[in-house]
Structure 1
Amino acid sequence: MKLAIVVPRLTDEIVGGAELLALWLAQRLLKVGHHVEVLTTCAVDHYTWKNVLPPGLDRIGNVPVRRYPADKRDIGMFAQLEHAIQAQYTLSREEELLWLRNGVVSSALEADLAKRASSYDAILALPYLFGTTYFAYATAPDRTVVIPCLHDEAYARLGVVAEMLGGARGLMFNSAPEAELALRFQRSLAPSTVVGAGFDPPGPTDSELARRLYDLPELFLLYVGRLEGGKNVPLLLENFLRYRERRGTELSLVLLGSGDVKFPAKRGIRQLQIDWRHRDSVYAAATVLCQPSRMESFSIVMMQAWLAERPIIVHAESPVTRGHCEQSNGGLWFSIYPEFEEVLDRLLRSAQLRRTLGRQGREFVLREYSWPAVLSRLETALSSWFERSREPVPALKS
């Protein structure tokens, strides 16, 4: 098949989940013989969306990447509408489209896609939250498969999101709880399936090498990801400091990532930057991984930690991460501090429990999220949706 993947930004240094998924899918689909190119903007920063990369054809490894200038934004208008959405005011369709237009969009990308849409067998657009995704769908609804990466948040309740969930040619979810969530926002979903992201078993890991290179403690709780309030990092910091004070333990918290969350310069908390070639060895050295986010459509770091046979603690209010722990028997969950304390106590008391949960998590990832399993689900869905005879749907007015 000839496929386009539309994503708001993409470089080989961006580590956001949707961007990684877009890049990984492009790489793997190319590897098995499909023709794939990525359509994206010249922006890198997901706060400003300023154009910093040159437009035109680029490559990331073997992946062709077509870059288009992001449109100028009215940041004041965007902020005003953003505030209204967060406050759960009802916006008109015109206001919702105005919010999307002043987020990240590219008129040049849309115009080129309108000209060339018929040359693609399918257009995969992700994630749901950005104008690049909606307007790719609006340009060619009958060829667009949306990979929503949906969260239970105010944006997901917009009318334009329900429209896209119902009108796309197909939907590819990352997990079953995400698919169930979509039904709360649109009762008449487009044809859909659960695909997810794929993973290879890691090569040999060396936890002792990781300890020496990064001066890692013997016992530590690991967090990997953006240090942002939306990822619930402040709650993790609060719970960890309370646990350390109550238990008088030498357990450390290692934060692998960057962001705007400020944390106290207290003993036991450390922010770490690593050579990503050592990522799996750092996972293997960790005692437990904590993924505290309530809003995930899929957690890449959980799968990576399970492949390194590490147990995981997640927030009970995240249907996706808790669901994966329940399916795999690879982790435990908490909602309030006493539960966090009890779960961590259990894991620290029993090395056998940690090993058992870690092994069960690894078996789950290899069974459900190997690349052969993921690509089989994706190809089966595309073949089904695009082999059906169906009258072309005109582009939507935007």
Structure 2
Amino acid sequence: MKLACVVQRYGADIAGGSEAHCREVAERLAARHDVTVLTTCARDYVTWQNALPPGVTRERGVIVHRFPVARPRDLKRFADLSDEVFAGPTPEERQEEWFRQNGPDCPGLLEHLGRSGGEYDLVLFWTYRYAPSYFGSPLVSDRAVLVPTAEHDPAIDLTVLRDYFPRAAGYLFMTPEEEALVGQRAGRPLQPSSVVGIGLEPAAPCPDADRVRAEHGIAEPYVLYLGRVDRNKGCETLLDYFIAQADGLPATLVLAGPSALVVPQHPRIRALGYVSHTLRDALLAGARALVVPSPYESLSIVLLEAWNRGVPALVNARCDVLAGQARRANGGLYYRSPAEFGEALRFLLDDTAARDTLGRQGRAYVDREYRWPIVLDAIE
């Protein structure tokens, strides 16, 4: 089949869950199909500034066609418009404008879809909230496959989505919770669809993990947060909960990822900033537990990565996706309050047998649901 994959940014060194998912899927589908990625020249998801050359390249077996962004995002205008449309009922034209201002504004990509979209058997669109998917999928609705990566955040309540979601020809969801959420907003179950998640290879051994951690001054025991240290990821609440419970917790909280907030100075908190892949693997290999505090997820890839190494998890129960993943895997615990956070973390730290059992069950869940042959079969 001739397939197109539309995504807001693309590249092996571009961080982002939906971007990574698109790249991993595109590279594997390219072994069996004629795959072209349609994307922008942007690297930064905040400004959408052009940073990569326009035109066609081949990257790891995938044809990549990049189109220039017409204008960077006007951050103040976008913030003001977000406040407006998320505050309550607003006219649909203002909601449509929110998708335009969210960007990236890439007229060449949309013109290509309007002119040549019919040349593809299917066109897969990643992430409903960005302009290429929101404005692009209706142009090829008879062959559009939407990969919404929807979260239970304010954008999902925009009323224009009730008409937008049902217009695609098919759907790929990350979790059953996401499928239910999008179906609710569409007013009916959306078919044909498949819950696919993402594939993982079995975790490679980390024979030098102890040495790598020691070189960075990381002593056990510790619990790990992995990813962008950001208020929107629940990190402010995580820090508050950990500090409130720290006196009764025999472990350090290690934060591994770039920070968008000020991390408090505390003897039991280590903020490492961006970490290399080697250190990242070493941290996962030695963690007593992974903490995932995000209130909004369509799928937590880092949670699957922890289970892939047999590491149990402690997740935010206010996120239906995280709580659902933890229950299906039986690979961790979840919390709703500082007291529950403290009790669950103490249990994971103190009970080695229970911790190991939860980790094994998490790994078995990844083996059942998230190996690439299984995921590709679900997609195709």
Answering whether residue 128 of structure 2 is matched by residue 128 of structure 1, we say yes
Q: Classify 1:56/1:306 alpha carbon distance in 2 versus 1 (closer, same or farther; 3 Å).
A: same
Asked whether the equivalents of residues 68 and 108 of structure 2 are also in contact (C-alpha less than 8 Å), the reply is: yes
Between 1:114-123 and 1:268-277, the stretch displaced more is: 268-277
Residue of structure 2 in register with 1:374 after alignment = 375
Is the contact between residue 292 and residue 314 of structure 2 (CA under 8 Å) also seen in structure 1? yes
My pick for the range that moved more, 273-282 or 201-210, is 273-282
The 10-residue stretch of structure 1 (4-13 or 321-330) with the greater mean CA deviation from structure 2: 4-13
Q: 1:326: which partner in 2?
A: 327
> Which residue is equivalent to 2:225?
223
1:5-36 CA-to-partner distances (Å, cap 9, x unmatched) read 111112222221111101111111113x1111
1:196 corresponds in structure 2 to: 197
Structure 1 counterpart of 2:266, one-letter code: K
1:336 aligns to 2:316 (yes or no): no
Structure 1 pair 210–353 and aligned structure 2 pair: CA distance change class (3 A): farther
- Cα deviation, 1:300-346, whole Å, max 9, x if unaligned, reads 00000001100100011111111111111100000001101110111
1:238 maps to 2:237: no
CA distance in 2, matches of 1:160, 1:286: 43
Deviations 1:186-221 (A, max 9, x none): 123431221111111011123323323432211111
TM-score by structure 1 length?
0.90
Partner of 2:118: 118
Task: Please report the RMSD computed on the Cα atoms of aligned residues, expressed in angstroms.
Answer: 1.6
| 1:339-396 deviation line (CA, Å, top 9, x unaligned) | 01110111111111111000000000110111111110110xxxxxxxxxxxxxxxxx
Q: Mapping of 1:1-398 within 5 angstroms?
A: 1-31=1-31, 33-72=32-71, 73-87=73-87, 89-104=88-103, 105-191=105-191, 192-206=193-207, 207-244=209-246, 246-247=247-248, 249-272=249-272, 273-379=274-380
Q: Distance in 2 between matches of 1:111 and 1:160?
A: 23
Does 66-75 or 174-183 show the bigger shift? 66-75
Q: Note closer, same or farther for the CA distance 1:176–1:48 as it changes in structure 2 (3 Å cut).
A: same
Q: 1:226 and 1:360, CA in 2 relative to 1: closer, same or farther beyond 3 A?
A: same
User: Could you tell me how far apart the structure 1 residues matched to 2:84 and 2:59 are?
Assistant: 38
Per the normalisation by structure 2, the TM-score is 0.94
Q: What one-letter code is carried by the residue in structure 1 that aligns with 2:116?
A: R
Letter matched to residue 219 of structure 1: P
Instruction: State the distance in 2 between where 1:241 and 1:80 align.
Output: 34
Q: Deviations over 1:244-263 (max 9, x none)?
A: 1x31x451111111131111
Give the AA of the match of 2:160. V
Q: State the SS of the aligned residue for 1:159.
A: coil
Look up the SS of the partner of 1:313 in the other structure. Answer: strand
CA distance in 1, matches of 2:279, 2:367: 21
Residue 393 of structure 1 is matched in structure 2 by none
Count the aligned residue pairs. 375
User: Which residue identity lines up with residue 367 of structure 1 in the other structure?
Assistant: R
The CA deviation string for residues 122-149 of structure 1, in whole angstroms up to 9 with x for no partner, is 1111111111111111211111111111
8 A Cα contact 1:322 1:333, kept in partner:
yes
CA gap of 1:210–1:359, structure 2 versus 1, over 3 A, is farther
Unaligned runs of 5+ in 2: none
SS at the partner of 1:221?
Answer: strand
Partner of 1:395: none
- Could you tell me which amino acid in structure 1 is paired with residue 312 of structure 2? P
Give me the whole-angstrom Cα distance separating, in 1, the residues matched to 2:128 and 2:34: 24
Runs of 4+ in structure 1 deviating by more than 6 angstroms, as ranges, are none
CA distance in 1, matches of 2:368, 2:75: 45
C-alpha contact (below 8 Å) 1:137/1:164 kept by paired residues: no
SS of corresponding position for 2:89: coil
Contact 1:125 1:146 in 2 (8 A): yes
When structure 1 is superposed on structure 2, of 200-209 and 130-139 the one drifting more is: 200-209
Which moves more between the two structures, 317-326 or 154-163?
A: 154-163
Question: Counterparts of 2:294 and 2:76 in 1: how far apart (Å)?
Answer: 29
Quote the Cα distance in structure 1 between the aligned partners of 2:264 and 2:116.
52
Give the Cα–Cα distance (whole angstroms) in 2 for the partners of residues 277 and 144 of structure 1.
38
Partner Cα separation in structure 2 for residue 113 and residue 253 of structure 1 = 47
- Please say if residues 78 and 98 of structure 2, whose CA atoms lie closer than 8 Å, have aligned partners that are also in contact: yes
CA contact 2:6–2:133 (8 Å) conserved in 1: yes
Match of 1:382 in 2: none
The letter for the 2-side match of 1:372 is P
Q: Structure 2 CA distance, aligned partners of 1:58 and 1:219?
A: 46
Contact 2:29 2:35 in 1 (8 A): yes
